[in-house]
Homo-oligomer: A and B are copies of this chain.
Amino acid sequence: MIIEMRTGAAKKEVDDVVQKAKSLDLGVQLNVGTDKTVVAILGSNTGQIATDIFAILPGVENVTRIMKPYKLASRAFRHKDTIVDCGGIKIGGEKIIVMAGPCAVESEKQLMQAAEAVKKAGASILRGGAFKPRTSPFSFQGLQKEGLELLAKARKEFGMPIVTEVVNPQDVSLVSSYADILQIGSRNMQNFALLTEAGKSQHPVVLKRGFSCTITEWLTAADYLLAEGNHQVILCERGIRTFEDSVRFSLDISAIPVLKKNSHLPVNVDPSHAAGNYTLVPAIAKAAVAAGADGLLIEVHPNPKEALVDGFQSLSTSDFTRLMNELRVIAKAVGRSI
């Protein structure tokens, strides 16, 4: 942590900063510049200490954190890539894993048709929402327990693990009893009570990025899962809120190399929620694979025109099959398979 004193700060003010740091067992080094004094606070835990503690002291101009606030999710904490193992399917390895299926589970027929088609096209994991976080209380909220049962049925029939969202800490054990992978949605990335419960479940978790959260905040949220001893964490970039209005969210493509550099966790990309428009999904999916994503989360519906939720961003099964064929060539071009 670097504490910049105001020009002309009194010696007593500098001493108080030094004293505060020493009271917290932190190391201190003084840099007396020509214009101002800068105090460097040293110690391996300074990433977890609030900058406010120093910012509030008289004579302090500015406090800059050097250590990152996240710890367990950092590449510094674990150098080797984490590979999440979901019943033999390895996420974060050479093979790019595609999770596909409908936004919401709507009926047995819809889910089975989707599952069959995505399996045939090469997806490894079936996605489908049973509990849906909707912006309006008057919108369809998902089939809930019935949806979980349909997902379990589809898993049995097609032999694919299932990933589904959990939105309430109380539901974690219920959802875990059906799902292979729990999904934490974008609006819940900083729902810390939910993260703690999901961490305790010891199930693999897909942690979607909050649509207005920085990568640093995202990795710090991942620490909530990891701190419960759950190391099966998959990050999923799904678009961020920007001023651009031609898409629902702007996919942050540079998040992929930034995460690969700073964290050991596998990185998925969800092009469907980012674009909010099925015509844009293929280009974004291809870009994600080229940029180094370890997996994709893609919405597919057997009949997008009849979808109850997010139909406009869903690929039809034939569009999905075509996309998978295109992605295979790009995966190969970057030395991977799909």
Task: Check A10 for interface membership: any CB of B closer than 8 A.
Answer: no
A 273-309 contacts with B by CB, 8 A: 274-275, 277-280, 282-284, 286-292, 304-305, 307, 309
Closest B residue by C-beta to A45: B138
Instruction: Name the one of B212, B286, B305 contacting A291, with C-beta atoms under 8 angstroms.
Output: B286
Closest B residue by C-beta to A51: B312
Residues of the B chain whose Cβ atoms lie less than 8 Å from the Cβ of A250: 240, 242, 250, 252, 254
The reply to whether B254 and A137 form a contact with Cβ atoms under 8 Å apart is no
A 230-287 contacts with B by CB, 8 A: 240-247, 250-258, 261-262, 274-275, 277-280, 282-284, 286-287
Q: How many residues of A contact B (CB 8 A)?
A: 109
Task: Name the distance in Å between A59's Cβ and chain B's nearest Cβ.
Answer: 12
Task: Check A66 for interface membership: any CB of B closer than 8 A.
Answer: yes
Residues of the B chain whose Cβ atoms lie less than 8 Å from the Cβ of A251: 253-254
Task: Check A86 for interface membership: any CB of B closer than 8 A.
Answer: no
Task: Assess A50 versus B309: contact at CB under 8 Å? Given A283-B257, A292-B283.
Answer: yes
One complex includes copies of this chain to the number of 4
Residues of the B chain whose Cβ atoms lie less than 8 Å from the Cβ of A143: none
The reply to whether A304 and B243 form a contact with Cβ atoms under 8 Å apart is no
Task: Check A108 for interface membership: any CB of B closer than 8 A.
Answer: no
Sorted nearest first, the 8 A-B pairs with minimum C-beta distance are A212-B212, A290-B290, A287-B287, A33-B42, A52-B312, A257-B283, A168-B193, A287-B291
Residues of chain A touching chain B, judged by Cβ–Cβ distance below 8 Å, are 2, 4, 7, 27, 29, 31, 33-36, 38, 40, 42-44, 48, 50-53, 55-57, 62, 64, 66-67, 69-71, 76, 133-139, 167-170, 187-188, 190-193, 196, 211-212, 214-217, 220-221, 223-224, 227, 240-247, 250-258, 261-262, 274-275, 277-280, 282-284, 286-292, 304-305, 307, 309-313, 326, 329-330, 332-334
